[in-house]
Chain A
Amino acid sequence: MKNLLKESEHLVRLVLLAVVLVVGFLVFRKAVVPTGFGRYGHYRAPALDDIATRPISFAGHEACETCHDDQAKTKTQGKHAQVSCEACHGPLAAHANDPDANKAVKPNPAALCVRCHEADSDKPKSFPQVVSRDHAPGESCVTCHNPHSPAI
C-alpha cells in the first residue's frame, strides 16, 4: 500500500495541478465576464436597462394635453389634429416636469410654418403648399391662421 502511494505521487501532483488550473480558470472567468453576460444572448443583459433608463426630451403629446386641454381641443377639430405638440414647439419634457422653472418659448411662425408649407416640387402634391412670397407678402401667418386649427 505504502509502495502504491509512493509510486502514484506524480499522479496526485498532476490532479492537484489540474484542480489549480480549473479553479484558476473559473476565478479568472468570473473576474472578466461581466454580470448578466449571456442571460439573453451573447451580450451584457444589464445594457438593456442602461439604455432604457436614459432620460427623455420629448414629453409626448399625452403629457402636453393633460394641462393644455384647451389647445388640444382646438387642435382635434382642425387640420393639425394629427400633428403632435412638440412637432412645432420642440422637446419640452423639462417643461412638463416643472412648468414653472422651464417655460416653453413661443415658436416663430415666420420660420416654422414655411418649414412644412413652403411650395416645393419635391413634396407630395396632396400636401398643402404655398409660395409664401406671393401668398401673403410681409404678413405673419398667424395674422390669418390659427396654428392649432389653421383653416380660415
Chain B
Amino acid sequence: MDLNRRELLAGAGKFIILSGSARAALNGDTQNYNRAEHWWGMAIDVSKCIGCGNCVRACAAENGVPKGYFRTWVERYQINGDDSEHPKVDSPDGGINGFPPRHATGVKSFFVPKLCNHCVDSPCVQSCPVGATFDSPDGVVLVDEKYCVGCRYCIQACPYGCRYLHPTKHTADKCTLCYHRITKGLTTACCEACPTGARKLADLKNPADPVHEFLRENNVQVLKPYMATRAKVFYKDLDGAVR
C-alpha cells in the first residue's frame, strides 16, 4: 500500500509525532516557558529587505491589527546624490501591499522594516500613569488592555511612533513581539513570514542564538541611540539617513 506520510498522519493522531515546540504551539501551551531565561529583541538586516510587505500582512493576520494601523511597517527611503540629510521617505499603507515597482537610476533607495524597539529604558513605560504598559521580565514591552485608560501619553512618548490607540478597544496597542508565540517556542509572525530572512527574532540571553554573531560580525546600530532608550531591535547596514 502506498501511503505517504501525510495520509498516514491524518489518521494516526498528528500530535503524537509533532515535535515538542510545534505541539506546544498548536495546543497553546506555555508551561515550559521560563521568563527568567529569555531577553528578547530582533535582528534586522536592511540589505536583505525587498519591501514585499509579507511582515506587515502577517502581523495584521496574526494580531488582528485594524486596517490603517500598524504594529510593524516598512519604509522606503530614497536619497538623491549627497543629500542624505533630506531623504524622501514613503510607506504607502505601511507597505501592507508591498511597493509599486519603479525603475529609478542614479538614486540610492532601500527599505527599512520598523516595529517596536522593545527598549530597556522605554519612554512609553515611564510615561504610563496607571501601570498598564510595562517591561516584561523577559524584555518585551507590553500593554495590559484591561488596565489601560486610553490616555495616549505612551503614544506621544514613543520616539519611534510605534504605538496607536486601538479604534474599537480605545486602549493603546503595539507590537507584542508576538508574545503569544515566543512563549510557545515559535518565532514572531513577521519573522515567520519574511521570505529573505531580513528579520530574525533574537534571544539575547541564549548564548546559542545567532544574534550574538550578528552583533559581533556586522556594522550594527539601533534607531535614535541619542534618545538613550536602549532599543533592542538591531539594524545591520543601516544608512545614516534613516531616522
- A40, A57, A61, A120 — most chain B CB neighbours (10 Å): A120
| B221 close to A (CB within 8 Å) | no
- Name the distance in Å between A35's Cβ and chain B's nearest Cβ: 11
Query: Which chain B positions have C-beta within 8 A of A7?
Result: none
Contact A122 B76 (CB under 8 A): yes
- B9, B104, B131, B176 — most chain A CB neighbours (10 Å): B131
Complex CA gap A42/B136 in Å reads: 11
Asked, given contacts A118-B101, A122-B99, whether A58 binds B176 with beta carbons under 8 Å apart, the answer is no
| B230 close to A (CB within 8 Å) | no
From A56, A84, A119, give the contact of B103 (CB < 8 A): A119
Instruction: Convert B172-208 into 0s and 1s, putting 1 for each residue whose CB lies closer than 8 angstroms to a CB of A.
Output: 0000100111011011010011111100000000000
- Residues on B lying within 8 angstroms of A by beta carbon are 4-6, 9-10, 14, 17-19, 21-22, 25-26, 28, 30, 33, 35, 47-54, 58, 61-62, 76, 78, 98-99, 101-105, 107, 109-111, 131-137, 142, 144, 146-147, 176, 179-181, 183-184, 186-187, 189, 192-197
5 tightest A-B contacts by CB?
A47-B144, A43-B134, A120-B101, A54-B180, A63-B22
Complex CA gap A53/B101 in Å reads: 39
Contact A87 B197 (CB under 8 A): no
- Name the distance in Å between A80's Cβ and chain B's nearest Cβ: 8
Query: Which chain B positions have C-beta within 8 A of A50?
Result: 144, 146
Query: Which chain A positions have C-beta within 8 A of B189?
Result: 57-58, 91
* Interface residue total, chain A, C-beta cutoff 8 A: 53
- A34, A68, A123 — most chain B CB neighbours (10 Å): A123
From A47, A93, A120, A122, give the contact of B142 (CB < 8 A): A47
Complex CA gap A51/B144 in Å reads: 8
Contact A91 B61 (CB under 8 A): yes
Complex CA gap A151/B101 in Å reads: 23
Query: Which chain B positions have C-beta within 8 A of A138?
Result: none
Complex CA gap A99/B14 in Å reads: 10
Contact A83 B195 (CB under 8 A): yes
Contact B5 A70 (CB under 8 A): yes
Contact B180 A53 (CB under 8 A): yes
Query: Which chain B positions have C-beta within 8 A of A41?
Result: 134-135
| A90 close to B (CB within 8 Å) | yes
Complex CA gap A61/B197 in Å reads: 14
Complex CA gap A95/B229 in Å reads: 41
Which residue of the partner chain A has the closest CB to B106?
A: A121
- A49, A54, A55 — most chain B CB neighbours (10 Å): A54
Instruction: Convert A101-131 into 0s and 1s, putting 1 for each residue whose CB lies closer than 8 angstroms to a CB of B.
Output: 0000000000000011011111110110000
Query: Which chain A positions have C-beta within 8 A of B14?
Result: 66-67, 99
Which residue of the partner chain A has the closest CB to B148?
A: A47
- Name the distance in Å between B110's Cβ and chain A's nearest Cβ: 7
Complex CA gap A48/B179 in Å reads: 9
Query: Which chain A positions have C-beta within 8 A of B28?
Result: 53, 55-56
Complex CA gap A53/B182 in Å reads: 11
Contact A44 B62 (CB under 8 A): no
Query: Which chain B positions have C-beta within 8 A of A116?
Result: 50, 52, 195-196
From B35, B62, B147, give the contact of A58 (CB < 8 A): B62
Contact B109 A66 (CB under 8 A): no
Complex CA gap A94/B26 in Å reads: 9
Which residue of the partner chain B has the closest CB to A93?
A: B26
Which residue of the partner chain B has the closest CB to A61?
A: B192
Contact B26 A52 (CB under 8 A): no
Contact A67 B5 (CB under 8 A): yes
Contact B144 A43 (CB under 8 A): yes
